[in-house]
Amino acid sequence: MSLVDKIKKIYPSLTSEDFDVTAKGTILIQNDSDGKNDYIKEWKHPSLSKPTDEQLADAD
């Protein structure tokens, strides 16, 4: 399951637009191609707190 899918599972109210940088998205997912996979680079959502590592692991 992708990181975006995990986050959407934790917060079902999120839409793809929340992750769309060109549409003023509030959540930036990045992958540095260093073998460490995707990560949350920036979380600026006005009403939802950034999920913890435990929440993300449980969303699998």
Model pLDDT for residues 30-48, shown as the tens digit of each residue: 999 999 999 999 999 999 9
Q: CB-side exposure of 35: number of CA atoms within 13 Å? A: 0
Match 């839409």 to its residue by tokens: 15
3-state secondary structure of 38: coil
Fold for the domain defined by 3-58: Phenylalanyl-tRNA Synthetase; Chain B, domain 1 (3.30.56)
pLDDT digits (tens, 9 = 90+) for 7-37: 999 999 999 999 998 888 999 999 999 999 9
Domain ranges in the chain are 3-58
Q: CA distances (Å), 31 to each of 14, 39, 47, in order?
A: 20, 6, 25
pTM: 0.90
